[in-house]
Structure 1
């Protein structure tokens, strides 16, 4: 079983058709709950074992140092800890910052496959930071000075701008905004400096993007796919939080189909 030091939501069981567990890694300001809304039950129902940890300092997972000091390497260690607790190497699915963490995890681990959903690109967070600076210069200056960013993503208006499409129901946006939590300032710096090294990655990757993504551009999704020798696939009607948006099932079904073609 996964270590008790991390919150891990664990559903379903491996089956002969789907022997590899699926390990879902959340992005910044989120926790395991974002996968538990739809994806874990969907994949458990398809015959997979599906797990979602909350990275340390997120959800109900404790941290041994202040949140602001947590690094991408700490988050990679969390993924490795849960993966090592499983009977077979998992397929790892990462969203947003979680996709960045997954890319770092893959540099030194052999796993059957991985999926990147609206992932931060291998070239890091610089593009995202510059867009934030241009869009909300006062927010960017305050968060840069304080190391605290939650206030600038957690209103319904700001959450919609970054995480959701224009047509997402207001109640869903407000519910998500209320569950967001502070993110590590150190992890943001690592997103500029501790960049992934795609040439070290051997696992096959599925790279997915969203048409109404307020955090990751289509050009960044294409650059990510190119770095890993594959072609990106886009869901034109969805926002950044592809696992929560109405239409999430089309994303889940595409992942399920892709895994099936690989015997997973």
Structure 2
């Protein structure tokens, strides 16, 4: 019953499908704006899943109660429906879910884009408290976080670079949705174990990211024995920002180098 947007097909040069996993407040649509068509045009089969309670995917419990385990199970369901193990690509919260998925499942490769680090979301939460203490208090009391990320001003602060046109910020801010309140707790205690992951990973970050710092991106890369690639002038939503094609091209080049 999960919503999956599926474009392109595997080819002789790219026999492995790509499965894209969105972050908090988003759904599969964020990959369908640019990335799915880009990779389909390069000869890949590219799919994006909406985790339960997001986009067109129904939920079997209240959204506020959905957990990391629920979402990792959704990634597993989407991956297992494919004829071969896919490359898994996760953004933000989706990045930490991909890390959790890869602890127990094999994949030809993985990509972490502006991912929550293995150390969890504590530092990010503390930055939010310092910047907007009243917002944080209200979302903690109500379990509702959407009002505090979805105005154009707040969406730009968290998801987009200062150079992103206002029309773009407004368009995507209007598409954001409520997120599970359980995510805040799981991001503190349900941490990945990098030592359990054997999948080779490409780690990417954005210089003007309002959610994940460059140091956190580098900490993720260090945890997996690789180096981070930081894109200048980009905000957190690397798949939607101007310059998204540079990010997609970097992934394509890396996959080609691995014959995927």
Q: Name the TM-score, length of structure 1 as normaliser.
A: 0.98
Q: Given the alignment of the two structures, is residue 26 of structure 1 paired with residue 31 of structure 2, yes or no?
A: no
Shift of 1:38: 0.1
1:1-264 residue pairs with structure 2 within 5 A? Answer: 5-264=1-260
The superposition leaves residues 16-52 of structure 1 with CA deviations (integer Å, 9 ceiling, x where unpaired) of: 1001100000000000000000000000000000000
The superposition leaves residues 84-136 of structure 1 with CA deviations (integer Å, 9 ceiling, x where unpaired) of: 00000000000000001000000001110000000000010101100000000
Secondary structure, counterpart of 2:144 in structure 1 = coil
Aligned residues: 260
Instruction: Note the residue ranges of structure 2 that are not aligned, 5 or more in a row.
Output: none
Tell me, in whole angstroms, the C-alpha distance in 1 between the residues paired with 2:239 and 2:246: 10
Shift of 1:187: 1.7
Moved over 3 A (4+): none
Shift of 1:81: 0.1
Instruction: Note the residue ranges of structure 1 that are not aligned, 5 or more in a row.
Output: none
The superposition leaves residues 197-254 of structure 1 with CA deviations (integer Å, 9 ceiling, x where unpaired) of: 0000000000000010000001100100000000000001110000000100000000
The superposition leaves residues 38-67 of structure 1 with CA deviations (integer Å, 9 ceiling, x where unpaired) of: 000000000000000100000010001000
Tell me, in whole angstroms, the C-alpha distance in 2 between the residues paired with 1:136 and 1:209: 24
Q: Name the TM-score, length of structure 2 as normaliser.
A: 1.00
